[in-house]
Structure 1
């Protein structure tokens, strides 16, 4: 196997209300891969968006307890969400849709900050993921009346996994797909791996963050995800709010951690583990260590804690993605 550096090519744009970054190890295929990615994300949005009135998920949430036949894409996205809920003991729960709406996150995030409607913060348990019935044999889903699903905690990461695998197979080269910092890679990586900057808030790849600790790591396979309370924030009625909800209270989580980054076999697994670590709070580093996951946790005051498998250093190299 050659260890000579590979030339890469990248494209950046926006979709699903977030940043999209595609990097390929064969510049010749960049445009065709970018077109395939755009088509796939459009299909994903039509199936899984909570904000589109014409999406499959919106219709499912409005079904009032009736079984609904869904597309294979939505069925798999929901299956991933339910697996994440089970694996995290409910810390990542797709039935927080009503809670998300209650705190004002009921539209594309670019519009949330501009909204000045009052919110009423009330403690309420999420209905619970076990109430959602997915019948893979018939392709139907039953969501109890009054329960609203939000797949945002897992679906974007799963979309990155699926897109990276699809593009790597189609193009026959190494591929990196980053959706808002949730990063999946597939195919043969560049020499030394994909260099990814880990930081509190997703930002331009060629501009290191002006504040907060950050580091660069190499990713050879699987996925890497960062969950944090500093990225998607807004204020209502004097309350500082963010997009990670604790299913036990229905309110934005109050965590010992500002951000948690996890590397795992898939980006979906990494996202579920990082989000659960924020929700569960203290002791998350011990739990992640016990799971054998490479993780980096940043406390509210900026103290960085890592699990034993997190790389201690990374050689300087051009940045390929920012999480």
Structure 2
């Protein structure tokens, strides 16, 4: 007899909910779910821009020297760097200082704010990663923001721990991975939140062994400037407004996570071209709340 076990914790500035479909007893299930939550804790400790003693922030203090970093930090940073290269800097993990300037620098638990020294013209080209010895080298002071990849990375790690269950969903504030089948033996039906109405669903997708991640300007707005949200073009230092939300379906959460941000930055036409080129699926909601489905959803 299968049943559902659900657990949730506050991590990475959001509520992380893990739901598993299983015939096992609670004492058998709970340690596995605890292991999945541990993946989130490890990634947060490595990648947080909001904690002065995170591995990322300690490494960012060391300019002009090769700093060895853990795989918890190296893997998402490498993926962010590849995306920066591929988009020619439209997506850039060195956006952190701009984020701080617009007030995105408050720790969700302590309320403390961070402000770091960084050069205005810093870009991803000022970061050098070495696969051979897993080191990072910074040419100049900068602040790395891994907000578009770290949560997806944590979801992917946690999903490996849960792979033996009949089915499971890891939902980290709307970014999620759904494995296997739901308790009725069907693919998981995932609702896409309406950008203007928090408790309404604007569309839905059915997925199994896939991720769906959503980015949108409605999620976090700047208290410094009302036209700025947490997705910012590193060249113009402005936020895009053509799309109010981008939900991307991909084989992995880290991929869905970063592409949802990139498509928001690109806008509707270029975003659709990108998704078709990458053979990814998406639900794009325009600023007038018109829904555009891409990739045969």
TM-score, structure 2 length as denominator?
A: 0.87
Out of 207, 215, 218, the residue aligned to residue 206 of structure 2 is 218
Out of 231, 239, 242, the residue aligned to residue 256 of structure 1 is 242
Out of 201, 226, 231, the residue aligned to residue 244 of structure 1 is 231
Contact 2:89 2:234 in 1 (8 A): yes
Aligned to 2:116: none
Inter-partner Cα distance in structure 2 for 1:292 and 1:36:
33
Kindly provide the CA deviation profile for residues 154-184 of structure 1, in whole angstroms up to 9, marking residues without a partner as x: 111111111111232xx55433212121112
Q: CA RMSD in A?
A: 2.6
The unaligned stretches of length 5 or more in structure 1 are 116-123, 203-207, 311-323
Q: Tell me by how many angstroms 1:134 deviates.
A: 1.0
Correspondences of 1:224-303 after superposition (within 5 Å): 224-236=212-224, 239-251=226-238, 253-283=239-269, 284-303=271-290
Contact 1:255 1:280 in 2 (8 A): no
Aligned to 1:193: 187
Q: How many residues align?
A: 286
Q: 1:52 to 1:279 in 2, by over 3 A?
A: same
Q: 1:282 to 1:196 in 2, by over 3 A?
A: closer
Is 1:177–2:170 an aligned residue pair?
A: yes
Kindly provide the CA deviation profile for residues 108-158 of structure 1, in whole angstroms up to 9, marking residues without a partner as x: 25787x98xxxxxxxx97633233111121121112222211111111111
Q: Secondary structure at 1:162's aligned position in 2? A: helix
Inter-partner Cα distance in structure 1 for 2:289 and 2:17:
27
Contact 1:200 1:230 in 2 (8 A): no
Q: Secondary structure at 1:214's aligned position in 2? A: strand
Contact 1:80 1:155 in 2 (8 A): no
Inter-partner Cα distance in structure 2 for 1:11 and 1:139:
34
Aligned to 1:317: none
Q: Secondary structure at 1:34's aligned position in 2? A: helix
The unaligned stretches of length 5 or more in structure 2 are 114-118
